[in-house]
Amino acid sequence: MRHTSHYNSGIDTKRGFTLVEMLVVMPIIILAIGIFINVIVYITGGVLVSRGANALVYNIQDALNRIEEDVKSSSNYLATNSVSLTSPQGYNNDGTSNFHNVSTTTGTMLILNTYATTSNPITSTRNIIYSNGPNPCGSNLVNLNQPITLNIVYFVKDNTLWRRVVAPANYATAGCSVPWQRPSCYPGISGVFCKAQDVRLVDGVGSSGFNISYYSSPSSTTADSVSSDNTKSDSDRQTTLQAISTIGVTITATNTIAGHDVTQTGTIRVSALNE
């Protein structure tokens, strides 16, 4: 029996792509790679946006928590700073630019009058610091002296919400102890008086992103109109603020994250120490 072997030497079973095939296949491969990269970028961008949004929520809540602590330990709300400014503690990093709770040029501010204390005012071991006269510091009557007060100011500048401690020029020697609170100034501003930098709280807060409503009592649902009326004088607003016990604070901030504008808002309602 004759066996016939078939072999076609003209066929190469291990050949590569032809030029025509490459021209057809390569765009498909490039398209697939582009789609894959876009998916990765989309997922990564989504993660960054989510993380950025969460960070913004945290910063807003942290700022609101600080405000709540400060309000609860303050004696009253102010229309303008009650402490004479020592340069560079003014709004414009000088000694003359007073703070105002409402203004057409500097926006809304929260100005608190608070007692100087021997330690953190939210701790039970802290004591109020009284002036060193007329009764001597070691006297049982020292608490009849005038308490030393400071101003805590929350204000918006350069699209950021800040916290500043404004202290009198003689704050370190006026009382029977050196206050735990330290006067602060804008970061980068030099001056021997300031012992700390302002606290940078929330970025992305515009001129309308910090709002305060004033209420005559914790149960009141109608905000006082005079307290936040920028057409009224500081003295008129202060007269009304003397009857204010409670405030509502809203912070709205917008940050650009991975090409997306992310906006978050937080609100609290809190009453001062005397309530």
Domain that holds residue 63: 46-271
In the chain, the amino acid numbered 116 is A
Confidence of residue 161 (pLDDT cuts 50, 70, 90): very high
Q: What is the pLDDT of residue 38?
A: 64
- What is the DSSP code (8-state) at residue 142? G
Whether residue 9 lies inside any domain: the answer is no
Whether residue 33 lies inside any domain: the answer is no
Residue 200 and residue 164: Cα distance in Å, rounded?
9
Whether residue 41 lies inside any domain: the answer is no
Average pLDDT over residues 72-76: 92
In the chain, the amino acid numbered 174 is A
Between the CA of residue 216 and those of 60, 76, 113, 184, 241, what are the distances in Å? Answer: 26, 12, 17, 31, 9
CB of 244 within 8 A of CB of 77?
Answer: yes
81 CB burial (10 A radius; 0-12, 13-18, 19+): buried
Confidence of residue 16 (pLDDT cuts 50, 70, 90): low
Domain count, the chain: 1
Q: Which of 116, 76, 111, 77 is nearest to 91 (CA)?
A: 111
Whether residue 195 lies inside any domain: the answer is yes
Residue 26 and residue 260: Cα distance in Å, rounded?
33
Is 80 a residue whose pLDDT tops 90? yes
Q: What is the pLDDT of residue 19?
A: 67
Q: What is the pLDDT of residue 191?
A: 73
Greater pLDDT, 204 or 7: 204
Any idea how long the chain is? 275
Is 29 a residue whose pLDDT tops 90? no
Residue 87 and residue 80: Cα distance in Å, rounded?
17
Q: What is the pLDDT of residue 272?
A: 87
The 10s digit of each residue's pLDDT in 190-203 is 778 999 999 999 99
Is 14 a residue whose pLDDT tops 70? no
Residue 243 and residue 43: Cα distance in Å, rounded?
53
pTM over 0.85: no
Q: Which of 174, 182, 176, 83 is nearest to 129 (CA)?
A: 176
Is 3 a residue whose pLDDT tops 60? no
Greater pLDDT, 96 or 8: 96
Which residue shows structure tokens 């009592």? 217
Average pLDDT over residues 109-118: 96
Q: What is the pLDDT of residue 124?
A: 87
Q: What is the pLDDT of residue 15?
A: 59
The 10s digit of each residue's pLDDT in 220-271 is 999 999 999 999 999 999 999 999 999 999 999 999 877 788 899 999 999 9
Torsion (CA) 90, 96, 101, 107 in degrees, nearest 10: -70
